[in-house]
Amino acid sequence: MSPDISTRVGQIALERPTMLASGILGISLDVFGRLYKEGAGALVTKSLSKEPWDGYPNPTIIGLKNGYLNAVGLSNPGAPYFAKMLSQNQTIPIIVSLVGSIPEDFTFMIKQFENVKILGYELNLSCPHVEKVGLEVGDDPELVHTIIKSVKKESKVPVLAKVGLGSSDYLETVRTACESGIDGITAINTLRAMAIDVETARPILSHKIGGLSGPPIKPVAVRCVYEISSKFDIPVIGCGGISSWEDAVEFLLAGASAVQIGSAVGEKWTGVFSEINNGISKYMEKKNYGKISEMVGIAKKF
């Protein structure tokens, strides 16, 4: 019998442990359907705001020798538009990512999704390149507390918080989130970074500073997942530089119950989900694990 690769992130049940990370391709129901068919266990939408955002002018994403640098600027069609689009959804496991500055932004958006079939929400407390949202919210414990409290009061589905490395201790953000009733943590977002073209002496991204993703940030993300799952009794989703099944397994061993894949979609395209799922399955067979939960966090026993 082949191993069971289904998993649970708290109350969220997933057929497969590989999710599409927020910000990647997540703009239409048709695309979500395709990625689900191609192996993703769940799809996280682009971070939605109250109103449509155009994002920054290009260049917004560039590749580096290793990894990617982006400051897209959270372009998205807005929560009301997106909720209407998702209202036709019946079968696709979608997690809605939300971005905002104050509790009212989030509660307004959650109202839009009241009658839409979704698995849960992921609050973006960690985008490193847009002012007054993302990391700037994540770095403010008071705000994190009031936002999560109000979201939890409104939401009928589980709520995750996506954290990143800002100017404050990210473990304090996690602590606040846990104390405020969060259902799970996604770690981590991109890391603040920049690139300068030496010929023109110009920062390449139009926003100058953006976020680094891909293989270079993986060891940082593994460390964060390990720390969070060691210090708090909270389900964790690992995210950051996963591009192979070995990477995914590493996150599971560090304490993640599921993983998110982002930059590797650009590198390997849509087949990346089934490739990693198959690799995990073979690893489990070889190591005699019947369920994902048997391997979650076992690196911590050493």
Partner 1 sequence: MQKSFDTPKIVTIEKVVDETPTVRTIFFSDEMLSKVLPGQFAMVWIPGINEIPMSVMVSQENGKAAFTVRKHGLATTELFSKKVGDQIGIRGPYGNSFTIKQGNLLLVGGGTGLVPLIRMITFLKKSDNVTLVMGAKTKLEVFFEGLANKLLEGTKHKVIVATEDGSYGEKGLVTDVMTKLFQENKFDAVYTCGPEKMMHKVVQIASENKTHVEASIERMMKCGIGICGSCCFGDVMACKDGTVFDGVTLLANKEFGYTHRSKSGILDNY
Binding residue positions for FMN: 22, 46-47, 124, 162, 188, 214, 240-241, 262-263
Candidates 50-58, 88-96, 146-154, 220-228 — which segment interacts with partner 1 by CB under 8 A? 50-58
The total of other beta-carbon atoms located within 10 Å of residue 257's CB is 24
Q: Evaluate whether 188 touches 135 at the Cβ level (below 8 Å).
A: no
Classify residue 203 by its DSSP letter.
B
Q: What separation in angstroms does the CA of 17 have from each of 12, 65, 168, 281?
A: 11, 29, 30, 10
Q: Is 178 a catalytic residue?
A: no
Candidates 92-100, 124-132, 177-185, 263-271 — which segment interacts with partner 1 by CB under 8 A? 263-271
Candidates 18-26, 107-115, 185-193, 281-289 — which segment interacts with partner 1 by CB under 8 A? 18-26
Phi (first) and psi of residue 69, to 5 degrees: -125, 130
Name the pairing type of β-strands 68-70 and 61-63.
antiparallel
Here's the x/- map for partner 1, 66-85, by CB under 8 A: it reads as --x-x-x--xxxx--x----
CB of 71 to partner 1, least distance (A): 11
Please pick, from the candidates 31, 102, 157, 299, the single residue that binds partner 1 as defined by CB under 8 A. Answer: 31
Tell me how many residues contact partner 1 (CB under 8 A): 44
Name the token pair of 302: 């050493």
Which sign does the torsion angle of CA 77, 81, 82, 88 carry? negative
Here's the x/- map for partner 1, 206-225, by CB under 8 A: it reads as x-------------------
Residue recorded with tokens 């259902």: 183
Known binding-site residue numbers: 22, 46-47, 70-74, 124, 162, 188-190, 214, 240-241, 262-263
Q: Evaluate whether 201 touches 235 at the Cβ level (below 8 Å).
A: no
Which residue's CB is nearer to partner 1, number 80 or number 279? 80
Which of these, 276, 283, 282, 275, lies nearest to 259 by C-alpha position?
276
Determine, following the binding rule CB under 8 A, whether residue 61 of this chain makes contact with partner 1: yes
Classify residue 164 by its DSSP letter.
-
Candidates 10-18, 29-37, 136-144, 275-283 — which segment interacts with partner 1 by CB under 8 A? 29-37
Entry field: residues in the chain: 302
CA dihedral 259, 79, 99, 188 (to 10 degrees): 10
Q: Evaluate whether 44 touches 21 at the Cβ level (below 8 Å).
A: yes
Here's the x/- map for partner 1, 186-205, by CB under 8 A: it reads as ---------x-x-xx-x-x-
Determine, following the binding rule CB under 8 A, whether residue 286 of this chain makes contact with partner 1: no
Determine, following the binding rule CB under 8 A, whether residue 243 of this chain makes contact with partner 1: no
Which residue's CB is nearer to partner 1, number 267 or number 285? 267
Which residue's CB is nearer to partner 1, number 182 or number 261? 261
Please pick, from the candidates 4, 15, 52, 208, the single residue that binds partner 1 as defined by CB under 8 A. Answer: 52
Among 127, 178, 224, 239, which one carries the catalytic annotation? 127
Residues forming contacts to partner 1 in the complex (CB under 8 A) are 23-28, 30-31, 33-34, 46, 52-55, 57-65, 68, 70, 72, 75-78, 81, 195, 197, 199-200, 202, 204, 206, 262-263, 265-266, 269
Catalytic residues: 127
